[in-house]
Amino acid sequence: MFKLVITSSVQSAFVAALLLIVISLPSYGAAATIFGIIALPVALIICLVFAYPLIRLWQYYSWSIRVSFAIFTVFGFTLGILTPILFFGVGGTEISIRSATFLGLSGVLGFVCSSTAWNFVRKQVAL
């Protein structure tokens, strides 16, 4: 079970780091690699913390594929939005189009990462 949690978390965190590098590359150049390197352990820790409870709930309640996908992706989108707020603090957050775009992009990254984790877990746990 823990092997599955670790494997799905590493895969999801790796996807997050690569997506962050690809998205940041046009604007920041080589510094985007540093962003990805910083994001990898952060995403890995978040994935490790939340992967085990989600997998156990999936097994306990025998969720259908649609329900599990909805729960994983809503959870990922929400955590994607909350992660920059927790890192940079609420006090430094200004309400503007740029901050809404940044938080939306972070939410989409969380959505994509949770979708990849869901796909991996679906293939390993549900069958």
C-alpha torsion angle, residues 65, 68, 74, 80 (rounded to 10): -110
Please report which confidence band the pLDDT of residue 78 belongs to, taking 50, 70 and 90 as the band edges. Answer: very high
Query: Tokens 């990922």 appear where?
Result: 76
Which residue would you say has higher pLDDT here, 13 or 98? 13
pTM exceeding 0.95: no
Structure tokens at 31: 């510094």
pLDDT tens track for 93-111: 677 787 888 889 999 999 9
Domain count, the chain: 1
User: How many of the other CB atoms lie within 10 Å of CB of 24?
Assistant: 18
The Cα 6–Cα 62 span in angstroms is 21
Name the more confident of 90 and 46: 46
Structural domain for 26, as ranges: 2-124
